[in-house]
Amino acid sequence: MGDFNQAVVIEAIRRAGEALSRTELAAATGLSAQTLTNITRRLLDEGLIAEAGRAINGPGKPRVLLRLVAESRYSVGVHLDPAVVTVVVLDLAGAVVARRLIPVGSPEPGRIIDEMARAIDALIAEVGVDRSRIFGIGLAAPGPLDEANGTVVDPPMLRGWRRVPLRELLSAATGFAVALEKDTAAAAVGELWTRRGPVDDSFVFLYLGTGLGAALARDGDVTRGRTGNLGEIGHIVVDPEGPPCACGSRGCVAVTCTPQSIVAEAVRAGVLSAEGDDDEPGALEARFAHVCAQAEQGEAAASGILGRAARCTAALLVVLTDVLDVERIVLGGPFWGYVSEVYLAEISEHVQRLSATRALREIPIDGTVVGADVGAVGAACVVLDRALTPRSSTLMLSERSDVPVAP
């Protein structure tokens, strides 16, 4: 209970984004004055919070203000993408203090894991922080994942990554505990932590990377599903007259909305030449960016291709929001920046017109506040979230004596 209440206090200060007095903390947390005194003394001793001056509010003694010490603890985030590995270091407030990109090139697992470990060591040295002040490493990877065993199962466009025990290997290479998370879920955690929205925030996150995936935030927490693989949306049909899909259907998300499908249509329309290996992630991004640039310059064929993809994406979002009944939609991921302007204009009108709840409300649609590094930042936020977010489940006592009680 003590650890839970301590997390409640840290969360209240972090969410406020400013220094608070003990009186304000009591109002925000519902904790007694004596409990707050004990907790804040402990947090001050551990350097997690610090005094930030005094405030005078009417008669009586000035109130001591308490702030979060962002540089007191850190987390590391790693995003494994088929084209590039992104590594970031976040402080306790969730701000990026160091960043490094690693082109994937050959996707051989052992080589990439070694490069991840070297980049992590280099960034820690760059920040100049003692390793004992780092909570751990969050690792975002494409699904599907075997969450229980920390294994990457068989991610698309990462040849040779079948059943790779990524969590164990990176932990052994760095000496840190590693939290493996699906990239879409990590992005949603990053959105929750960085936006500091209401505690009961509820949204669907559409992740635009080499492929498309979705994540669900409900009541301020990310819902991961039974196996941790919620959000595999590639075979939802969004255009019954669309291209044939390998699954046997027509017009699935995988063949209408992904960067690969957009590039393929651009080749058929003559916007791009047929030369080039679009199965290579780096080449795919460059060619996708070219289509988006052509559309931005007003080229009719490229504009038509992106417009159709946006409408298919809107059809997908209508399905997701009707089924999940969320408050808002968030779009992001490494490829989001290329299409954000076109998509926000196209998608919003279609979603509002077709939503089953359109008579009740308008569904806000926004781009992520995190930016292109949402996978890596989200992965680091997963570590902070597990370490600091108060959850009632941590108060549950295990019924088995051989299972440790959650802190």
Q: What is the pLDDT of residue 277?
A: 65
Pairing of strands 145-146, 151-152: antiparallel
Q: What is the pLDDT of residue 195?
A: 84
Alpha carbon distance 9, 40 (integer Å): 8
Q: Are residues 83 and 61 in the same domain?
A: no
User: By the 8 A CB rule, do 102 and 116 touch?
Assistant: yes
Alpha carbon distance 219, 223 (integer Å): 9
Average per-residue pLDDT in the chain? Answer: 90
From 44, 68, 92, the end of a domain falls on 68
Q: Are residues 173 and 237 in the same domain?
A: no
Q: Are residues 59 and 95 in the same domain?
A: no
Residue 308 token pair: 């159709």
Q: Report how far apart, in Å, the C-alpha atoms of 362 and of each of 150, 329, 355 are.
A: 39, 11, 9
Alpha carbon distance 20, 11 (integer Å): 12
CATH number of the domain that residue 9 is part of = 1.10.10.10
Alpha carbon distance 55, 182 (integer Å): 44
Q: What is the pLDDT of residue 284?
A: 87
Q: What is the pLDDT of residue 34?
A: 92
Alpha carbon distance 270, 396 (integer Å): 61
Q: Does 168 score more than 70 pLDDT?
A: yes
In a domain, 369, yes or no: no
In a domain, 196, yes or no: no
Q: Which residues of 58-77 are buried (b: 16+ CB within 10 A; e: fewer)?
A: eeeeebebbbbbbebbbbbb
Q: What is the pLDDT of residue 379?
A: 97
Pairing of strands 49-55, 84-91: unpaired
Give residue-wise pLDDT tens across range 233-245: 999 999 999 999 9
Give residue-wise pLDDT tens across range 266-316: 999 999 988 766 666 678 889 999 999 999 999 999 999 999 999 999 999
Residue 302 token pair: 């490229």
Strand partners, 214: 206
Q: Which of 38-52, 345-359, 392-406 shows the lowest mean pLDDT across its residues?
A: 392-406
Whether the upstream peptide bond of residue 103 has omega within 30° of 0, thus cis, is no
In a domain, 370, yes or no: no
Q: How would you write 81-98 as a 3-class SS string?
A: CCCEEEEEEEECCCCEEE
Q: What is the pLDDT of residue 290?
A: 94
Stronger pLDDT, 76 or 52, i.e. the higher one: 76
Q: What is the pLDDT of residue 1?
A: 55
Other CB atoms within 10 A of residue 338 CB: 23
- Threshold 0.85, pTM exceeds: yes
Q: What is the pLDDT of residue 392?
A: 64
Q: Report how far apart, in Å, the C-alpha atoms of 167 and of each of 119, 144, 221, 323, 375 are.
A: 16, 14, 23, 33, 16
In a domain, 220, yes or no: no
Q: Are residues 23 and 82 in the same domain?
A: no
- Give Rg (Cα) of the chain: 23
Alpha carbon distance 119, 25 (integer Å): 39
Q: Does 328 score more than 60 pLDDT?
A: yes
In a domain, 209, yes or no: no
From 68, 102, 122, the end of a domain falls on 68
CATH number of the domain that residue 295 is part of = 3.30.420.40
Q: Are residues 128 and 182 in the same domain?
A: yes
Could you tell me how far CA 358 lies from the centroid of its own chain?
A: 28
Stronger pLDDT, 220 or 177, i.e. the higher one: 177
Q: Are residues 15 and 59 in the same domain?
A: yes
Q: Does 394 score more than 80 pLDDT?
A: no
Q: Which residues contact 75 (CB under 8 A, 6 or more apart)?
A: 89, 90, 134, 135, 136, 137, 138, 380, 381, 383, 384, 387
Length of the chain: 407
Q: What is the domain extent for residue 77?
A: 73-190+375-393
Residue 41 token pair: 């003394």
In a domain, 302, yes or no: yes
Q: What is the pLDDT of residue 381?
A: 96
Give residue-wise pLDDT tens across range 29-53: 999 999 999 999 999 999 999 999 8
Question: Which of 243, 78, 264, 247 has its CA nearest to residue 167?
Answer: 78
Cα of first residue to Cα of last residue in the chain, in angstroms, is: 9
User: By the 8 A CB rule, do 328 and 314 touch?
Assistant: no
Q: Are residues 58 and 126 in the same domain?
A: no
Q: Are residues 58 and 114 in the same domain?
A: no
Residue 96 token pair: 């990026």
Which contiguous run of DSSP H or E holds residue 337? helix 336-354
Q: Are residues 51 and 156 in the same domain?
A: no
Q: Are residues 56 and 99 in the same domain?
A: no
Count of domains for the chain: 3
Q: Which residue has the tokens 């160091």?
A: 98
In a domain, 405, yes or no: no
Give residue-wise pLDDT tens across range 85-126: 999 999 999 999 999 999 887 778 999 999 999 999 999 999
From 68, 93, 110, the end of a domain falls on 68
**DSSP-assigned states of every residue in 346-384:** HHHHHHHHH-TTTTT----EEE-SS-TTHHHHHHHHHHH
- CB-count exposure of residue 55 (10 Å: 0-12, 13-18, 19+): middle
Percentage of residues in the chain having pLDDT higher than 90: 69
CA angle 291, 294, 299 (to 5 degrees): 120
Q: Are residues 242 and 352 in the same domain?
A: yes
Question: Which of 151, 168, 160 has its CA nearest to residue 227?
Answer: 151
Q: What is the pLDDT of residue 281?
A: 64
Q: Are residues 182 and 91 in the same domain?
A: yes
Q: Which of 156-160, 205-209, 368-372 shows the lowest mean pLDDT across its residues?
A: 156-160
In a domain, 342, yes or no: yes
Q: Does 401 score more than 60 pLDDT?
A: no
Percentage of residues in the chain having pLDDT higher than 70: 93
